[in-house]
Structure 1
Amino acid sequence: MINLAEVIDAFWKLLPKLPLTLSFTALALAGGIVLGFILALIRIFRIPVLSQLIVAYVSFMRCTPGILQLFLIFYGLPQLLRQAGIDINSWSNFTFAVIAFGLHCGAVMSEVIRSAYLAVPASQHEAASAVGMSYFQALRRIIVPQMLRIAIPVIGNNAITIFKESSLVFTVGVVDLMGQAQILTQRRYGVTLIETYLAVSFIYWFCSMLLGRLLAFYQNRSERKYKIMARKA
């Protein structure tokens, strides 16, 4: 039988690790969005050589397991940079995990941002140019706001995916929610294994559901705002 008291006890012991998991998600997502925007622009402008390299990079990151990418960064990046005389062995395991997930997220975000950019009608670019706006002014004032409306749902879903997949970082020694769950089960020699995993699953479930609700709220609000602006126009 499942001991409810042990589930509750494990829940309170796991909860202090939630901020670490959330901060990891936020950093990986932020880095992924910045990288994705840069990669998307290179592909949009079809910069020779770089554009083809990015296609290969995106394909690799989307078609290989996340845990494999994590191991390649954690074990391979220090060795690669050592060849160039750069020592990064002092970096924390958390840093390597953020880099790995940020690189993966950047590949996904590049496709999302590129698709959102191409979905904005060409007439919007022409109208901005007609009123004397530079390309970057048009991008900031007209194109990006419309891109965000298109891309936000996918970005939000990707944030939830990163939050859930962050459970892999315990494999490189980061004591997040899943890492703490492993420690708790080992301390009790596996006696409360089911109770501990139930507790951690409830935390992941609740937070993912909350992020989904916030995303839906933002989406509905944006749609109402867009409809009001469209009626005024």
Structure 2
Amino acid sequence: MKGKRVLSILIVLILLLVPITGVFANENHVTLEFCSKGSEVSRLQQKLQSLGYYTSSIDGIYGKLTEKSVINFQKDNKLVIDGIADKQTQTALYNKTNTVASSPKNYSQDDLFWLARIIEAEAGGESYNGKVAVGNVIINRVNSKEFPNTIYGVIFEYYGSIPQFSPVADGTIYNTPSQESMQAAKDALNGARPVGNSTYFFNPAKAAGTWIVKNKTYVMKIGGHSFYA
């Protein structure tokens, strides 16, 4: 009788503990914010990178670039915009399908150099993210049926007698790219997409961009450039 009584008590205790254990098993969310560190931050950065929001190295440190990437994701997905990866933000993030477009296969050093040249010419004074964004646009054009299918072809495309990119007209396309522009070109070729599917950009301070504004969808602004898809 004593053994049965002990067994009964153990069963009752197990039944009571199961729901509690289940709660903790499902509650594996950790809020991440500026200055957070560790493997969960690395995982967050990797996911943001796969979606084209984060273009820096995976270092497990929630710095300004990671915070800005989270803010851009929150903006695009109509979440609370605070730069904090809370449960709502992480749920939306990890449920997203990766959207990194395939880069030109087996790109050559020539491809890399020309992409770096247009990045330098168009965004030499922009932030690193702004440089990668210009590369993102060029790669999107290469992958689109509406434009030439090579980097060189996209850069030197003309509409009538007018080149698509002003650096081709003024000759700055031939300037030597900086190391940062070279790295931005590499990241763009490897799939970084800070401006998603954008295929157009312009600087509102230097050009009206009337046709783009009327015919394309605004994506975002990075530095002096506005990007449209």
- TM-score after normalising by structure 2: 0.20
Q: Which has the higher helix share?
A: 1
Q: Which has the higher strand share?
A: 2
Structure number with the bigger relative contact order (C-alpha 8 A, sep ≥ 6) is 1
